[in-house]
Structure 1
Amino acid sequence: MSEWLSLFRVVLDNLMLRNGKGTSLGALLGVMLSGVVNLFNPVFQKFKIIDIEKLATYHFIAFGIIVMNIPWFKKKQSFSPRIEEALHLIELEEKNGMNEIQVALLRKEVINAAIANIRENPTPQNEPVSEVVSTANENMKG
């Protein structure tokens, strides 16, 4: 039981950090859904669809959190266009027969340049990563 609880805490912490608004709204939705289902419990008992009494409030809260985080899970995380371009150029060079070590070094250069840019200027408009890749590529070929 303690393993499940610790896993639940880690997952909830990650969801709160990455999508706090969706997770909070999901918990609220779960509590509200639990209240509505309990309000209409006599109707559900007549039809014997599901045994609602076996579902606890935390089941509804978990359902709400999952539902409200689905858009966040589907959202594609992408890099800035310059980083995408630089990685695409590296892939092209790799297909053209560039050494694996050189490819790894180029990728490392892109990563280091991106990190340096984030530290210096956190806006995505000022990322000269493609220039770094071009320079590093010329240095490796020459």
Structure 2
Amino acid sequence: MSIQEILASSGGALVILITLVQIAPIKVNPWSAIGKMIGKALNGDVIAKLNEVQGRLDEHIRIDDERNADAHRVQILRFNRELLQDNIPHTQEDFIEALSEIDFYERYCKEHPEYENNRAVLAIQNIERVYSEMLERHNFGNA
């Protein structure tokens, strides 16, 4: 079959037209569209499985993030308990570390309103109050 016969047939003309449209500086890309359709047809099962895995991964990440926030809350509550016992001296660095835990925990709670929080509100207030008092008196422990 010669080039003239190919060009004369409707199939050849369609191929040339699609190629020209693909090359032309317009946003219609028929080869890309055809390739995507074929790709979706061939990979439909893989795409569905990937979507399922992505959903499970998102759930694991959410659970891990919540556990991390829980761990920060535990540190806040532990530090507050030490302050209430009043027999453990704390340095300014101890307070800075506790305030860092508070910052992380409060930021996470604000960014994730679905996360059950408000479990450390009074502990946070107490830590901040004691820190302010110690700053005013310059009375940090020597430990």
**Computing the radius of gyration over CA atoms, which structure comes out larger, 1 or 2?**
2
Same fold, TM-score > 0.5, yes or no: no
Query: TM-score of the superposition, structure 1-length normalised?
Result: 0.24
Query: TM-score of the superposition, structure 2-length normalised?
Result: 0.24
